[in-house]
Amino acid sequence: MNKRRDLSVEEKLDVLKKYDELPKMSQRQAACKLNVSQSLLGRMLKSRQEIEGNALENVNSNRKRKRAGKEEEVEEALKQWFTKVREKDARVTGPLLRQKAEDLAKKMGKDDFVATEGWFHRWKKRENISFVKPHGEQGEADQLAARSWINSEWPSLIAKYPPSCVFNADETGLYFRALPEHTYAFKNEKTRGTKTNKERLTILCCASMDGEKRKLLAIGKSKNPRCFKGVKNLPVDYTANSNAWMTKEIFTEWLTKWDNELRHDVLLLVDNCTAHVVTVKFKHINLVFLPSNTTSIIQPCDQGIIRTFKAYYRTGMRKNVISVIDANLEQELCTLRAHEIAKKITVLEGLHLAYEAWNMVSKITIRNCFRHGGFILCPKEVEAAVERPTDLSTELYNEWINIDEEVQTTELVTEEDICGEIQSKRFKENMVGDSDEEEPDEKPPSTKEMLEALQILRRGIQQRGDFDVFEKHKFYEDMIMKLAEEAKIQSTLDVFLSKN
């Protein structure tokens, strides 16, 4: 009988890399070429995502078999806690880790657990953790890690996928009612200060290397805002939880929906935040995590895609506010200030503005952002810049665009969450309300009101428009009349059914 051959994580990764480089052949032939058994190769290919995930999670690359210590749950909880604090670049010592292990054990009902020196040494070895003295500047280390990944890992990934099948996704917080905090005024005029409106959404942007844009995903705090009443379709995908954060569950649902739509394989690059580390295996989506602390350097969404989206959003929102002010001036009813008008922007209006802004982000901009991150090696393309409002200086404009740059967008995991998830005794549920208290209480317009507004628009266009405008309005008017007719038929049907 042949002696069982166990491979370390490092050796498995090497076999998988060499397998990818082989020409098309049967699995049996590939196993012979790679000097491993066919059954072992089959198991490795089947558990490929887990192997690559172990490498990403810093599992000891020389370990051949996974062995747990005397308290596996405590060890896993400590590892997760250690991962979180290291993401914040916190300095962690041995005594602190041993004390934290005992604290976590007590929260899990294991009062007799003692983190001895021997246990701690074995845990460090299993989890590939060493005590080091940091050298050099953090920024320099991040640059080196980013370039190393681009030069060593990226070539083997891009060799398997065309640019149209390589995507990057990232979340951003969006203060959807925020206006600039400065204004021009007469020198003797008394101006009233206002606080930045921090009502927010979390927006997930996703785009491919050749410029294709996926439909936006918006996360709000209310599952059914009042402004959604009577709305049949939204311009973006929408979900909600109490904090408007991306969670592991929401990210998994988004990926699963996309995976079901796909008919070919794609590569999705994301950062390794907690919400992105999912356990589901997808048929068509290969989820690859960018190295820690390098996303600001190489992640395409952070190289200008999200900033351009926000620039278009804020420009469009400000334009709408100014239009309302101008309309009130014409009717001598200018009683609202700009910030008061912006405060009345509903979540629904914010979603439509986000949809319009995302549509305006060009393919050239997206390709240039992939290029700036080092994913494309051809010359930069010339793109049209978003026009800065002439009344805002460059400094104030940048401050306004970046006002929500540091907003928390993903769930925060507490020690209790870690312990609870590992023990599988309780699950954290987000309490989602049915309405948003900050939403203006506006009823959807009736069919009669829509037709009356249409008459006003028609008169205005007949006085001010030309032939092209007439044609466009006729198309728009036909669409409104069709909606009114459908509403009338539905109303008649409802009345008929209620009588029977």
Q: Which residue has the higher pLDDT, 170 or 124?
A: 170
- Domain holding 49, by residue range, is 9-56
Strand partners for 269: 168, 288
Which of 302, 259, 251 lies closest to 282 in space, CA to CA?
Answer: 259
Asked whether residue 493 carries a pLDDT value surpassing 70, the answer given is no
So what's the pLDDT on residue 427? 40
Would residue 421 count as lying in a domain? no
Which of 140, 223, 130 lies closest to 439 in space, CA to CA?
Answer: 223
Asked whether residue 56 carries a pLDDT value surpassing 70, the answer given is no
Kind and range of the H or E run holding 296: helix 295-298
Mean per-residue pLDDT of the chain: 78
Asked whether the beta carbons of 220 and 176 are under 8 A apart, the reply is no
Same domain, 242 and 314: yes
Same domain, 232 and 338: yes
Task: List own/partner pairs for 453-459 with CB under 8 A and 24 or more apart.
Answer: 454/480
Dump pLDDT digits (tens) for 377-410.
777 777 777 877 776 778 887 887 877 777 777 7
Mean pLDDT of 153-166: 92
Would residue 189 count as lying in a domain? no
Same domain, 178 and 112: no
Would residue 61 count as lying in a domain? no
Q: Which residue has the higher pLDDT, 302 or 439?
A: 302
Would residue 215 count as lying in a domain? yes
Dump pLDDT digits (tens) for 422-454.
665 434 334 444 444 455 556 677 777 777 777
So what's the pLDDT on residue 180? 72
Lowest mean pLDDT among 27-31, 270-274, 281-285, 459-463: 459-463
Lowest mean pLDDT among 10-14, 235-239, 379-383: 379-383
Lowest mean pLDDT among 109-113, 367-371, 470-474: 470-474
So what's the pLDDT on residue 361? 95
Asked whether residue 53 carries a pLDDT value surpassing 90, the answer given is no
So what's the pLDDT on residue 76? 85
CA atoms within 13 A on the CB side of 498: 6
Would residue 419 count as lying in a domain? no
Write the burial class of residue 455 (CB in 10 Å: 0-12 exposed, 13-18 middle, 19+ buried). Answer: exposed
CATH number reported for the structural domain that contains residue 119 in this entry: 1.10.10.60
Would residue 415 count as lying in a domain? no
The structure tokens listed for 152 are 């060593």
Structurally, how many domains does the chain consist of?
4
Segment of 118-132, 198-212, 323-337 carrying the highest mean pLDDT:
198-212
pTM: 0.63
Mean pLDDT of 191-211: 80
Would residue 423 count as lying in a domain? no
Q: Which residue has the higher pLDDT, 388 or 223?
A: 223
pLDDT bracket for residue 99 (50, 70, 90): confident
Same domain, 375 and 481: no
pLDDT bracket for residue 188 (50, 70, 90): very low
Would residue 63 count as lying in a domain? no
So what's the pLDDT on residue 449? 76
So what's the pLDDT on residue 189? 40
From 101, 127, 153, the end of a domain falls on 127
Q: Which residue has the higher pLDDT, 190 or 406?
A: 406
Which of 73, 83, 81 lies closest to 105 in space, CA to CA?
Answer: 73
Same domain, 396 and 307: yes
Same domain, 259 and 389: yes
Same domain, 396 and 494: no
CATH number reported for the structural domain that contains residue 175 in this entry: 3.30.420
Dump pLDDT digits (tens) for 269-278.
999 888 888 8
pLDDT bracket for residue 67 (50, 70, 90): low
Asked whether residue 297 carries a pLDDT value surpassing 80, the answer given is yes
Which stretches of 127-275 are DSSP H helices? Answer: 138-152, 154-158, 248-261
pLDDT bracket for residue 321 (50, 70, 90): confident
So what's the pLDDT on residue 161? 94
Q: Which residue has the higher pLDDT, 477 or 365?
A: 365
So what's the pLDDT on residue 79? 84
Q: Which residue has the higher pLDDT, 56 or 169?
A: 169
Same domain, 250 and 383: yes
Same domain, 206 and 294: yes
Asked whether the beta carbons of 439 and 346 are under 8 A apart, the reply is yes
So what's the pLDDT on residue 365? 94
Same domain, 244 and 340: yes
HEC per residue, 389-441 = CCCCCHHHHHHHHCCCCCCCCECCCCHHHHHHHHHCCCCCCCCCECCCCCCCC
Same domain, 223 and 300: yes
Same domain, 86 and 120: yes
User: How big is the CA angle at 242 (ends 424 and 234), to the nearest 5 degrees?
Assistant: 115
pLDDT bracket for residue 164 (50, 70, 90): very high
So what's the pLDDT on residue 424? 53
So what's the pLDDT on residue 215? 96
Dump pLDDT digits (tens) for 124-157.
888 778 765 554 444 554 888 888 899 999 999 9
